[in-house]
Every structure is written in structure tokens, then in C-alpha cells.
A and B are shown apart, each in its own frame.
Chain A
Amino acid sequence: MRHTRHVVIAAIAAAGMLGVAACGGGGGSAGAAGEKELTVVMWGGEDQKTHVRDAIEPWAKQNNVNLKQDEPSDYAKFQTQVESGKVSWDLVEVEPHFATKACKNGWAEKLDKTKIDTSLVKAELTGECAVPVLEYAFTIGYNSDIYSAENHPRTWAEFFDTQKFPGKRGFWKDATGAIFEAALIADGVAPDQLYPLDLDRAFRKLDTIKQDIVWYDSGAMQQELVSSGETPLIQAWNGRIYRAATAGRPAAQEWNQHILSYDQLVIPHGSENAATAQEWIGWYLSNPEAQAAYSNDTGYGPVSDAAMQYIKPEVAAELPSSTQNAGKRSAIMNYGYWEQNYEDVTQRLEEWRAR
């Protein structure tokens, strides 16, 4: 009898310990009394480090904000946090199609226009809940040992021509990775007639190079693929090629027919530090030096025109926003279209890939 009681007590104690262990992971978001806090989430890696260092930390120091980071942005986590009411992210870098969707579904906070002057940035890159955080371009990246400044594809049609330019092609494993836009331009669709995308035609074009496609899903992998020569040609993010090149690796890019894109920042609905996040956004948009500092380090474009005067001349040639490159643009990603079609096209892309 006594024996049994000991066992039962031991069992209860064990259960209690499990309970403690299970609960130990949560909580703990409140900082020191009175101190403001901000948790920033971007795509991670070198880019996030640079962005936070150049454009958020100076502000956080000035305003005595305790800065925290998480990575990478994840839409499923975003949705779960908002719907469960346990929001630990305050400022999240996302693709614009998700920003629009999140805004429509009430997952993102509306911008506070008393703190944020959206007239400082391009209206077409701004939403009710989102501001642009950077501009980037999908360029034709190439390995400069295998191809050269004289001999490399200069158009998407040439990029898809495996006879003239043999070798594997790298593409981003994402429906909004401009793969369809590039395929259609390569197939002769006028860049201003791209949307709504003729997907059947795009897939027919992609079928012609399917065996030569290598997919990447991170910037680091992209740099590795092109500079190792494994995929001598790659549909690249301009900043990644720029940084691989400045690091002395054999990577270069063609700006002709580049496709412009951008990322946005949103504040998850229910974030405790939403007001702080709004303050930073307002500061960032009205602070061209901070934007330019990030651009100078990464090759990604600043979001306001005022920042261009702070860009180093050698970097200007590598930015999508500079006048010499803007003239070579073929199209701008239409995220209105993508907000409507991202799910279906992703489905088709996955099915096409698995076939």
C-alpha cells in the first residue's frame, strides 16, 4: 500500500516535470520596464544582417529600443501567430503578393499615416498595410570564366537558347521568381502585354529547357551555383551577383531586359509593438541616408529617389534604380496579378516540376 502511494507520487511528479518542460518554452516577451522592443524578421543570412545593421540599429540606439531578430520570414508562421493571438513578430519582410493578401484578411496592421509619410516612396510599391523595403532586379547572371562580357546571353530569348549558350540554367524555386515572365518575354510576348500571364505558353517554353533547369531556394545557393560554374547561367537577384563579384568570385550580370521586383514590410495584426514598428517605418522612409547605406553595401535599390544622391558612383551602376539600368528594364513584377494567382500557379509549378 505504501509502496503504491510512492509510485503514484513519483508518477505525478514526473507528470508535473513534463508539464513544466512543456510550458518552459513560451512567454518572456516583455523587456525591461519601460523599454521599447521590436522584433524584426527578414529573409535571414547576410542580407538581413546588413539591413538591420545599416538601417535599423542606428534608429534603435537613438530611441533606446531593444532590438530582436528572427529569421526567415514564413507565411505559415505569420498566419498562425495572428490567428492564435500570440504574435512575437513586429516587423516582417514579405513578398508583396503576401502583403496584399495579409492586408485583405486582416492579418496585418494598417499603416499609421500620422507616423508614416508614404508620399516619400513610389505609390505603386506601397499598400494599405505595406511599404517597400528594397528594390531588386531579376537579371541574367552568368559565370564570367565560362562566359564573358562579350559573349553571354543578353536577352531572355538567348537565355532560353541552349544551343547557342549551352549549360545548366538556375531558377528560383518560387512562382514569383519571374520564371514565367522571363519565359514569356523569351517566347516573344511584348513586355507590356505580360499580364495576365499566358501560363500554357510559359510552360511550353519552359518545357524546352526543363532538363537544363537547376532550382535554387536561397541567395547563398544562387551564388554557389553560378560561381562554381555548375549553372553557368542563372536568373539572378542582382544584389547576390553584385556581392559575389565584389568578393572576387567569377560572377557577372546582364542588365538588359531585367525584371524589377521589390519586397515589402508588414506589421502582423496584434503585435504588441506595432506602434514602435510604425515609428521605425516612418523614420526609414524619411531617412534616405539609411536606405543608401544599405544599398551601398548590397546592390539592392533604395525605396525613395532622395536616397540616390548618397549612393557611391561605383554602386550606382549595380542598382536597378539608377538611370542607366532603369532604361534596360523590360517589366515590373505585377503583384496585383500575383496576389490573385499565387496559389494556383504555385500548384501548377509544383505539379510541372514533379512530372
Chain B
Amino acid sequence: MACQVTVPSTRERVSAHDADPAPAAPRPPRRAGGLLDRWGSLVLPLVAFLLVVFVLPLAFVLAQSFTEPEPGLQNYTDFFGSPVYLDVLANTFRIAGMVTVVTLLLGFPYAYLMTLAGPFWRGVLMVAVLVPFWTSLLIRTFAWVLMLSDTGVINTVLREIGLISEPLPLLRNLTGVLIGMSQVMLPFAVLPMYATMRSVDRRLVQAAEGLGATPLQAFWRVYAPLTAPGVAAATLLVFVSSLGFYVTPALLGGPGDVMIGELIAKQLSGVLRWGFASALAIALLVVTGLLLALVARFVDLRRMLGGAR
């Protein structure tokens, strides 16, 4: 999971550093010739590192998907030949999308609250969102099982106080998956949005109101666009990271909530079908790439992510 978090953002940064054709943004004049200036060459070891630990293995996975167990397209025809795998892939994107929406809806007001709070309460809010982030994913997931099951804490309390007679179905269904994954992903939504919001000059909102905007108008037409880069970064981070989940949906989800990560793990550790597992991983990567490319056609991702100043 950690890899997936760092990789896309680094890729954005590296490509933004390449010869950038975007003519609109005025840029400081660059020394002609070099791709990187001399301090920039400090980045080279990092690039080499990424090449070794990320690009090479990925190339290996790609090759393997065509060569194991024998050369050919067998793994991909297996994948496209069975409706189950396409369903699971679609399901993976559906769940990741829903988790993204939930974390944005929760994270935006939370981050906003953090900008309003004084130093003490800001610290409390920050710790509250970060502490679960520092505990093991497995422990958090098991904790949710204890909270959400039919005989778990929430249902028992609700039944004891007489609010419900039948347990609420909170576990081993989509609800459980969304609760568990959203909690894990919340810091990834809150932190970039908070970083952006902190740098927004609130006097602009006051100015808008002074010029006759209602508070709602001032929010939507001034504050919201200024925080858009943070929202975009949060969306991208949460969505892409969510695609790789499998422990949480496996433990909290029901029969229809299988995500592709779980199938990949099973193909590897269970039945040792390296080629097919690679093909599944490549399919996930390609579809994710296509989806981001599609989004990029309509939204200027680079400007949204880079324009946080």
C-alpha cells in the first residue's frame, strides 16, 4: 500500500520536472541545455532508485504475464474470457470510487475545521486522524470486526437500549467495507486538503462577502476553487490507494465485495499462478492509467496538483 501511495505522486513530480510544454504558466527562466540544473542532479540517485525498485520489477511483471506458464496471450484470454474477473475489476473501481466520495465528504469539513481551530484543538484533531494511521492495518480491521458484527459492540449496545430488535447488517457487506476502508484512507484525504486550505488567504472570502456575495456564494465561488488542488490531490491519492486493498474487503466484505487485490494474492500464495497474477496486476494498472488519462482530458490534473501556491 505504501508503494502505491508514493508512486503516482512521485511520477507526477518527475514528469513535471521534465521539459514541460505548458506555455500558459509563466516560469522562471531556465538555463538552456540541461534537463536538470546542477542541484537538480541530486535527484538522480532517487530516479535510479525508483528505476531499480519500481520500474524494473514492473517490467518483469509485465514480461511474466506474457511468458508464464508458457509464452502467449493465455493469461489475458483467461482474464477476458471469464465475466467474473471483469466483474471483480469493475467492483474494485466501484468500491474505490465510493471510498473516495466518503473520505472527501468526511475529510473536507474535517480539514476545514482544522484551519478554524486554535493551536491546541488543531493538534487534537491532527492526532485523532493520525493515530489510527500508525496502528497496524490488520489490527484496525479486526477491531472493526469486533465493533460491527451482529454480536459486536454497536449492535449489542443498540439492542440493549432497545433501539433495534434485529442486528443491523454492518459487517460482511458493502457497508462494512466502506467503513473500514474510509477510516484507513481518511488521513490521505485530510492532509492534502488541510495543507491547501491553510495557505488560502481567508481575506479573499471576506472581500467577496464585502462585495455583496452571500456566504454560500463566497464559499462556492472563492473558497472552493482555491482549495480545489487539495481536493484533487486527495481524490487521486485515496482513489489510487484504494484500488490495491484486499485485507479490509476480505475481512469486512461479503460475497459480492471481492476486490482484485484479493484475487491477485490468492493466485500467488495459493496456487502459484505467477503469470495470471501478473496479468491481473497489469490489467489493474492499465485500466487505472486509462482512467486517469480520461480524467486528465477534462481536468488539468497537473495544474490542479502543482498549483497549490
Contacts and interface: CB of A to CB of B under 8 A. Distances in A.
Contacts of A228: 149, 151-152
B70 interface: no
Given A18-B45, A74-B269, A346-B270, A353 B255 contact: yes
Given A8-B41, A228-B151, A229-B151, A354 B84 contact: yes
A149 interface: no
B88 interface: yes
Contacts of A342: 271
A3 B38 contact: yes
Contacts of B283: none
B84 A11 contact: no
Interface residues of A, number: 34
B172 A214 contact: yes
Interface in A1-47: 3-4, 7-8, 10-11, 14-15, 18, 22
Given A75-B269, A75-B270, A210-B255, A351 B49 contact: no
B38 A76 contact: no
Interface in B160-196: 172
Interface in B33-57: 38-39, 41-42, 44-46, 48-49, 52-53
Given A75-B269, A210-B255, A355-B84, A14 B42 contact: yes
B150 A230 contact: yes
B258 interface: yes
B40 to A, nearest CB: 9
A11 B42 contact: yes
Given A4-B38, A351-B82, A343 B172 contact: no
Contacts, number: 77
Interface string A85-101: 00000000000000000
A350 interface: yes
A8 B44 CA distance: 10
B202 interface: no
Nearest to B44: A11
A41 B279 CA distance: 30
Interface of B: 38-39, 41-42, 44-46, 48-49, 52-53, 82, 84, 87-88, 91, 145, 149-152, 172, 250, 255-256, 258, 263, 266, 268-274
25 contacts: A3-B38, A7-B42, A11-B41, A14-B45, A14-B46, A15-B44, A15-B45, A15-B48, A18-B48, A22-B53, A76-B274, A77-B269, A210-B255, A217-B250, A230-B149, A230-B150, A230-B151, A342-B271, A343-B271, A343-B273, A347-B271, A351-B84, A354-B256, A354-B258, A354-B263
